[in-house]
Structure 1
């Protein structure tokens, strides 16, 4: 009962959490308040550093204190972040908002997946985790598309500040919905009080031991990190890219909607690809798709390059449910949020490291150079690390069949 109740609530929470009209004009709004590309890159580094520092501690808190409580904290900080941005006029205002955003992301990332998976495990539906997660992501995108389309229309008629006030209203709705979630716990028979007796160092040791002894999980999860960090640059800087191509702002909402629409097929079909091909081949394909999209956008400064950029959104839609599901099927409930937080920590560590390269390339070659750097990074990982692993596994399967 609690599982079905939580799934319905999580659908609504994801919807309103993404119904944020401010995102479609975010970079233009920030630029109008004096924020340059390099300054925005600095806030990205601040965000990633905040998440890296707090991701694991908040995951531990979620496992010890409760997943619902951490989701409620996350929603409250999310609303505070948007409210600060309404009045932001200096770099430190934006930096403060980004710190709150980082804490909010850390508090919610591991907790949501842990609450969902444990609820499905308790209901005997754990095999449908990737399917439900894909649907959550798809609903997330539908709400973001509606926000983008409405935000684009509003941008031509009203001040950009209105977008943030409407976004604050959505964030407050998320707080109210999160308060109605039911906490779910799943314990093994020999694990009655283990979670309450562990101290933070025990969680860290157990998590480190898990990743050390599961090379297959490391490989799959790190591929998801590379794709996830790369797609962040598309979502954060496409507005500036369109502006450089002299695309009218009236079309920004439409383009944003199409980007997110291309994420739907991957999220909805990820579980089918997983069943048919396993985890690694779809992840390799997603990595190479992202690389092709970014490199084309970097070197072809023409509106036709926008079509290539859409490939990166398709790639992200495929990767996220597969990598997350692969991880959660191999961890115990009492450590679920903590180990999931390690995944997010790694993603943001990769994002922080690549942000330096993106910033330097953008400083010399504008946003085009930044996208070229990201495309080269994806290509190097895809051809240098991911592809050999996939080829080796295919060969092993062929030899096994022939034998």
Structure 2
């Protein structure tokens, strides 16, 4: 099973190498797509991901995780060719539709391959390396873009195609981790019912969703508004983007942190750090505190994701693992839609209010996590 880990790590690194990442919006605009069209495409893509989650989970359990991963990697490769050659709204919409199919297909399958290849032993460390290598690929691509590619958008797209093609070839080296499970409508409905009626699991999923979405929204969208409010120049914002990307590789130390602080201690430390970071952002417009708070939020989330991924996988008891994880992903994504709307509405009125919301969300996530932990079955 070490072969699976090597293949998955290589896939993570290569698929992280999106060479047009630093100019993704400018790339689309140069091909005739407006900002309004870009946001419309993103909304369509998110809706498709949610709709396809459960059907893809069912299909993955029937096909087997190796076949599903190979198919998704090759479709991912084809989507990058479409992006590279896209010219106008229709081409980029097609690329995003293909991406939605891929994201929904890989959801739960990649983590299941990693988890079942290693078992419960050190799975948090495996998830940490997997996430960190994705970030490493992004960082490598950003550096190559800055040093060699520049404003040659066509070259950036072509290099991304090559990277994703190599990732698809790596997927051919995977070995199956479980036998395909026959489709059973009744069993699928049972999984859905068990998930929606499992109060303890729902507490965990809601907690994980709140913590992840607070980080995602603030460090992806609201951070730039805070930097501008703090008066930082464009070159400083670019440097901070690289710094935040580097911090995304810290997930390899997540397992070590949990071994030292325990399950609840890790949650309190990382979620508490998120709460304090959000409060700092709400109270200040000074450059240094803003920078420290945003980077702290980034670090806390990076360390938290492998921790949450292991706990989530441990709670899956059905052999239809991909179906169960897809149902859970649909719930988490649904929460994300609501929090995104709330963050956006508040940021339009007052940016500080959106940071207060972030602090409240992180605190609520922590409280839900503690309640989930206290409801655990006693040995």
Q: How much has 1:311 moved relative to structure 2?
A: 1.9
* 1:328 to 1:165, Cα distance in 2 relative to 1, 3 A: same
**Would the alpha carbon gap of residues 212 and 140 (structure 1) be closer, same or farther in structure 2, given more than 3 Å must change?**
same
CA contact (8 A) 1:293 1:312 kept: yes
For the pair 1:129 / 2:123, whether they are aligned, the reply is: yes
Q: Does residue 65 in structure 1 map to residue 38 in structure 2?
A: no
Distance 1:87 1:247, change over 3 A: farther
On the 8 A contact 2:79/2:98 being kept in 1, the answer is: yes
Contact 2:318 2:324 in 1 (8 A): no
Partner of 1:217: 201
Q: Give the root-mean-square deviation of aligned CA atoms.
A: 3.4
1:206 is the counterpart of 2:186? no
Residue of structure 1 in register with 2:326 after alignment: 341
Contact 2:203 / 2:372 at 8 angstroms: preserved in 1? Answer: no
Pairing of 1:103-118 with structure 2 (within 5 A): 103-118=101-116
Aligned to 1:163: 156
- Count how many residue pairs are aligned between Structure 1 and Structure 2: 374
Structure-2-length-normalised TM-score:
0.84
Q: CA deviation at 1:238?
A: 7.2
Q: Distance in 2 between matches of 1:32 and 1:297?
A: 34
Shift of 1:176: 0.7
* Compared CA separation, residues 250 and 80, structure 1 to 2 (3 A): farther
Give the aligned partner of residue 400 of structure 1. Answer: none
Q: Is the deviation greater in 315-324 or in 170-179? A: 315-324
Shift of the 391–351 alpha-carbon distance from structure 1 to 2, 3 Å rule, reads closer
Is the Cα contact below 8 Å between 2:210 and 2:362 reproduced in 1? no
Task: Check whether the contact 1:299–1:372 (CA below 8 A) recurs between aligned residues.
Answer: no
Which residue of the partner structure matches residue 145 of structure 2? 151
SS across alignment from 1:127: coil
Give the Å deviation of 1:232.
3.2
Unaligned runs of 5+ in 1: 187-192, 397-403
Tell me if the contact between 1:28 and 1:239 (Cα under 8 Å) persists in the aligned partners: no
* Partners of 1:293 and 1:311 within 8 A in 2: yes
**Do structure 1's residue 380 and structure 2's residue 360 form an aligned pair?**
yes
Please give the residue correspondences for 1:1-400 in structure 2 after superposition, counting only pairs within 5 Å: 3-33=1-31, 39-121=37-119, 126-154=120-148, 157-185=150-178, 195-196=181-182, 198-210=183-195, 212-213=197-198, 215-234=199-218, 236-237=220-221, 241=225, 247-248=233-234, 252=238, 254-265=239-250, 267-293=251-277, 296=280, 303-304=287-288, 305-332=290-317, 334-361=319-346, 364=348, 369=351, 373=354, 375-384=355-364, 386-387=366-367, 390=370
Q: Counterparts of 2:236 and 2:158 in 1: how far apart (Å)? A: 20
Q: CA 1:87 to 1:210, structure 2 compared with 1: closer, same or farther past 3 Å?
A: same
- Note the alpha carbon deviations across 1:251-285, whole angstroms, 9 max, x for none: 73x433311221233x1232233344443443354
Q: Give the Cα–Cα distance (whole angstroms) in 1 for the partners of residues 295 and 272 of structure 2.
A: 13
Structure 2, gaps ≥5 residues long: none
String of CA shifts for 1:300-320, please: whole Å, max 9, x gaps.
Answer: 556533332212221221221
CA distance in 1, matches of 2:302, 2:96: 25
Change (3 A) 1:392 1:185: closer
**Residue 334 of structure 1 aligns to a residue in which SS?**
coil
Deviations 1:207-258 (CA, angstroms, capped at 9, x unpaired): 4314523x33332332222232333335644796568866446973x43331
Residue of structure 2 equivalent to 1:189: none
The answer (yes or no) to whether the contact 2:20–2:145 under 8 Å persists in 1 is yes
1-structure distance, mates of 2:122, 2:366: 26
Which residue in the other structure is 1:190 paired with?
Answer: none
CA distance in 2, matches of 1:358, 1:35: 25
